[in-house]
Amino acid sequence: MKIIGIGKNYVSDKAEIETLKNGAQLIFTKPESTLVTNNKDVVFPSITNELVYEVELVAKIGKTGKDITIADAASYISEIAVGIDYTAKDVLNASRANKGPWALAKGFDGASPISSFKPISNFPELNNINFDLVINGEQKQVGNTDFMIYNFSEIISFVSSFMTLVPGDLIFTGTPALGAGQTFKGDHLQASIEGELLLDFKMI
């Protein structure tokens, strides 16, 4: 299975969407070994001193598709979860300085904690899903999918033009424009979809 991420996909003002929507989606991949499931605590990675969190909705692919049209794309989603896309920011900055890839900064063990999944039938309006992140009891990020530059269908269509999507593939669909920040050892992270707490773990 593949883990696919999309960067810089949310705005704080919906009026900005059409200006920013130029077809150049920022896509990256993460290895399966980044996943942490079942609300297990996450071991703080020894490879970084600047670990940055981004809460994101995660779409699971339910059937095989290639060159999927935007009109058909939503039918390829089977379930939705909430997750954290962790970035080792100092590792990323060092890689960028040499015009290198994001692989090590995004692909370390524990970089993708995700919640249990909810059936897509629970979400009749894909463009109106609320989610949020609380750290140590303080709300840090709040998102609604209506603020996405590229919606679920546009992401799936674009990605499938490059690579075949198969059942079980996961797509991290981007983080809200505001509130991403640094995670520290001992932090307690809780993420919800539509007010339902689904992801609950500590950084140890």
Cα–Cα distance, 70 to 163 (Å, whole number): 15
Q: What is the pLDDT of residue 195?
A: 97
- CA-closest candidate to residue 174, choices 40, 50, 66, 25: 25
CA–CA distances in Å: residue 198 to residues 61, 82, 84, 141, 182: 19, 7, 12, 15, 21
Q: What is the pLDDT of residue 100?
A: 87
Q: How far is CA 157 from the centre of its chain?
A: 17
Question: Which residue pairs, CB below 8 angstroms and at least 24 apart, start in 12-21?
Answer: 12/147, 12/176, 12/177, 12/178, 14/146, 14/147, 17/147, 17/149, 20/149, 21/149, 21/150
Q: What is the pLDDT of residue 79?
A: 98
CA–CA distances in Å: residue 59 to residues 28, 37, 55, 101, 123: 15, 15, 13, 24, 12
Q: What is the pLDDT of residue 68?
A: 98
Q: What is the pLDDT of residue 101?
A: 87
- CA-closest candidate to residue 180, choices 75, 89, 74, 44: 89
Tokens at residue 92, please?
């990323």
Q: What is the pLDDT along the chain (204 residues), one digit of tens a residue?
A: 999 999 999 999 999 999 999 988 999 999 999 999 999 999 999 999 999 999 999 999 999 999 999 999 999 999 999 999 999 999 999 998 989 888 999 999 999 999 999 999 999 999 999 999 999 999 999 999 999 999 999 999 999 999 999 999 999 999 999 999 999 999 999 999 999 999 999 999
